[in-house]
């Protein structure tokens, strides 16, 4: 988790820092450009106005060049931040409101002014090496010939100091923001990592079989959904474990009963305790009946295993449904008479031959009919009603037996479910029937009311 927390924290922090530094850089460039443009505009206006003043007034009123240029410098001596220079065409400073430098002026603004273009220049002063900006404009005689250049120079030190002040303030603000981001990202990463750590810890316990553990849901986000999923999974595993234990207990009991009967009668017959042949035959019949019962239980388990693994292959063939059901009823006729249960059948006319797996179809009908008889009292009725509706074959097995409790009905087709019934059985017969019918492309439905009876409805689509 330390790795995730570190990556999350660093990615968030680096991303925000890049954005903030980019904003800071753009802001400082914008501030610098704004102030430099303001100074440039001011210098250009000063140089232009001075050149215009000379052209309109001084040039006409003074015959001597020096006399005509001097007022341009004298009028600006009080402006401490601005230096006015009058430069001849060779770059020599003729007049200046500041210190006259011996260095020749050859800057870009001067060169362009000699061509009649107003221009500015930013660089370092030759004497003081401080950052300055200058604007130059040509001075012309009455014949419009360039005789000199007026150059307005100002120091950028105050502007740069102001920009540095803004930079300091913005950097201070940036540091404060970064501290806030550091704190918030730490809290954010903790709110993400702590639930993940809890999920991981509980998941490890679950992997060791501690399915009673539950994850506390802190937020309604993806981690919260994961917590709900793991909690649900643990609940379902506990239910499956409980169902499995109930099934093992039930099957063990179901296997023990016939095995006890077989062992008891087998030992009695072997010891020769019976001299009466009829008693021996009775014991052998019990052994045979209980053996068949064991075989049926094992067959159910094998069928269920195949169905769960999708390994059951149907052998489809044209089948006379009416004939198959009547044959099944004949098989149960003796048992029905013994238990005083009335077995009846009803068929609509022209029931078509149907493509089914004959043995699996019989298995389904026998299982449902066996359940109906098992859960019906004496002197009750069971009806098998076969009909067609549009493109469906409908088989209804209706009894007026004990019925199924309302709360058990939604789970009655679940594997291993037996409800509160004390009757023998593995609890997988109906689940097997449901899967077999689904493999045929049909459906199996149950309608039941406690103490009133059950109606099992099988629907198969006619090909």
Mind listing the pLDDT tens digit for each residue in 155-164? 888 888 888 8
Pairing relationship of beta strands 380-389 and 341-347 according to DSSP bridges: parallel
Q: Which has more pLDDT, 346 or 196? A: 346
pLDDT tier at 281, thresholds 50, 70, 90? confident
- The neighbouring-strand residues paired with 85 are 96, 151
pLDDT at 107 (0 to 100): 87
Q: Is 274 helix (H, G, I), strand (E, B) or coil?
A: coil
Beta strands in 390-442 (DSSP E): 392-399
Q: Can you list the alpha helix ranges (DSSP code H) found in 54-92?
A: 59-61, 65-74
CA nearest 121: which of 109, 113, 131? 109
CA nearest 262: which of 232, 298, 229, 292? 292
- For 219-228, which contacts have Cβ atoms below 8 Å and span 24 or more sequence positions? 219/191, 219/195, 223/192, 223/195, 223/196, 223/199, 224/195, 226/199, 227/195, 227/199
Overall residue count recorded for the chain in this entry: 463
pLDDT at 418 (0 to 100): 60
Q: Which has more pLDDT, 457 or 52? A: 457
d(CA 371, CA 401): 10
| 237 backbone dihedrals φ, ψ, rounded to 5° | -65, -40
pLDDT at 75 (0 to 100): 65
Residues with Cβ within 8 Å of residue 112, at least 6 apart in sequence: 118, 119, 136
Q: What percent of the chain has a predicted confidence (pLDDT) above 90?
A: 7
pLDDT at 385 (0 to 100): 93
pLDDT at 293 over 80: no
d(CA 428, CA 418): 9
Pairing relationship of beta strands 316-319 and 131-140 according to DSSP bridges: unpaired
pLDDT tier at 2, thresholds 50, 70, 90? low
pLDDT at 303 over 90: no
What average pLDDT does range 137-153 have in this prediction?
83
Least confident of 228-242, 316-330, 438-452: 228-242
- Exposure of 127 in the CB half-sphere (CA atoms within 13 A): 9
- Other Cβ atoms within 10 Å of 173 Cβ, number: 12
Question: DSSP letter at 451?
Answer: T
d(CA 48, CA 66): 20
User: pLDDT by residue (tens digit) across 169-192?
Assistant: 888 888 888 888 788 777 777 777
pLDDT at 114 over 90: no
d(CA 237, CA 419): 19
Q: Can you list the alpha helix ranges (DSSP code H) found in 134-218?
A: 157-207
Q: Which residues of 53-89 are buried (b: 16+ CB within 10 A; e: fewer)?
A: ebbeebbeeeeebeebbbbbbeebeeeeebbbbbbee
What average pLDDT does range 36-63 have in this prediction?
77
pLDDT at 247 over 80: no
pLDDT at 60 (0 to 100): 60
213 and 205 Cβ atoms separated by less than 8 Å: yes
- Other Cβ atoms within 10 Å of 177 Cβ, number: 14
pLDDT tier at 398, thresholds 50, 70, 90? very high
- The neighbouring-strand residues paired with 445 are 457
User: pLDDT by residue (tens digit) across 433-445?
Assistant: 888 898 888 999 9
pLDDT tier at 382, thresholds 50, 70, 90? very high
pLDDT at 421 (0 to 100): 57
Q: What percent of the chain has a predicted confidence (pLDDT) above 70?
A: 86
pLDDT tier at 394, thresholds 50, 70, 90? very high
pLDDT tier at 116, thresholds 50, 70, 90? confident
What average pLDDT does range 271-282 have in this prediction?
74
Q: Is 24 exposed, middle or buried (0-12, 13-18, 19+ CB in 10 A)?
A: middle
pLDDT tier at 167, thresholds 50, 70, 90? confident
pLDDT at 193 over 80: no
pLDDT at 396 (0 to 100): 94
d(CA 18, CA 23): 9
State how far the alpha carbon of 344 is from the alpha carbons of 294, 311, 320, 363, 378, in Å: 29, 36, 18, 19, 15
pLDDT at 66 (0 to 100): 61
pLDDT at 373 over 80: yes
Indicate the average pLDDT of the chain: 81
d(CA 104, CA 325): 123
pLDDT at 328 over 80: yes
pLDDT tier at 458, thresholds 50, 70, 90? very high
What average pLDDT does range 285-293 have in this prediction?
82
Domains identified in the chain and CATH numbers: 2-162 (3.30.450.20), 222-308 (1.10.287.130), 316-461 (3.30.565.10)
pLDDT at 399 (0 to 100): 92
What average pLDDT does range 365-392 have in this prediction?
89
pLDDT at 457 (0 to 100): 93
């Amino acid at each position: 988790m330390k790795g995730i927390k570190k990556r999350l924290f660093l990615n968030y922090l680096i991303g925000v820092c890049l954005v903030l530094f980019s904003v800071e850089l753009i802001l400082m460039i914008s501030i610098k450009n704004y102030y430099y443009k303001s100074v440039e505009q001011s210098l250009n206006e000063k140089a232009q106005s001075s050149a215009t003043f000379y052209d309109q007034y001084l040039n006409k009123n003074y015959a001597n060049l020096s006399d005509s240029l001097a007022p341009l410098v004298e009028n600006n001596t009080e402006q401490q931040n601005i230096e006015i220079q009058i430069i001849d065409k060779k770059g020599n400073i003729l007049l200046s409101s500041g210190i006259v430098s011996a260095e020749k002026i050859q800057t870009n603004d001067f060169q362009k002014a000699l061509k009649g273009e107003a221009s500015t220049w930013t660089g370092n002063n030759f004497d003081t090496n401080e950052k300055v900006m200058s604007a130059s404009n040509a001075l012309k005689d009455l014949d419009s010939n360039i005789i000199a250049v007026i150059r307005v120079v100002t120091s950028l030190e105050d502007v740069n100091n102001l920009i540095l002040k803004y930079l300091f303030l913005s950097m201070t603000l940036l540091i404060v923001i970064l501290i806030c981001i550091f704190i918030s990202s730490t809290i954010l990463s903790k709110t993400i990592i702590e639930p993940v750590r809890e999920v991981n810890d509980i998941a490890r316990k679950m992997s060791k079989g501690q399915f009673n553990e539950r994850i506390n849901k802190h937020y309604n986000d993806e981690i919260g959904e994961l917590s709900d999923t793991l909690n649900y999974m643990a609940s379902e595993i506990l239910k499956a474990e409980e169902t499995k234990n109930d099934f093992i207990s039930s099957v063990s009991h179901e296997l023990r009963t016939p095995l006890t009967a077989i062992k008891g009668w087998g030992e009695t017959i072997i010891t020769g305790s019976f001299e009466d042949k009829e008693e021996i035959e009775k014991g052998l019949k019990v052994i045979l009946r209980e053996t068949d019962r064991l075989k049926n239980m094992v067959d159910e388990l094998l069928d269920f295993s195949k169905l769960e693994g999708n390994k059951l292959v149907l052998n489809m063939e044209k089948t006379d449904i009416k004939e198959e059901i009547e044959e099944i009823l004949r098989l149960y006729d003796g048992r029905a008479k013994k238990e005083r249960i009335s077995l009846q059948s009803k068929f609509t006319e022209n029931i078509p031959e149907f493509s089914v797996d004959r043995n699996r179809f019989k298995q389904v009908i026998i299982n449902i009919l066996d359940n109906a008889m098992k859960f019906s009292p004496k002197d009750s009725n069971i009806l098998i009603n076969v009909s067609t509706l549009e493109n469906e074959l409908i088989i209804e097995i209706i009894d007026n037996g004990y019925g199924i409790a309302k709360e058990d009905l939604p789970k009655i087709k679940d594997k291993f479910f037996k409800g509160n019934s004390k009757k023998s059985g593995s609890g997988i017969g109906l689940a097997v029937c449901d899967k077999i019918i689904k493999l045929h492309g049909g459906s199996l439905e149950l309608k039941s009311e406690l103490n009133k009876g059950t109606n099992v409805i099988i629907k198969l689509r006619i090909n």
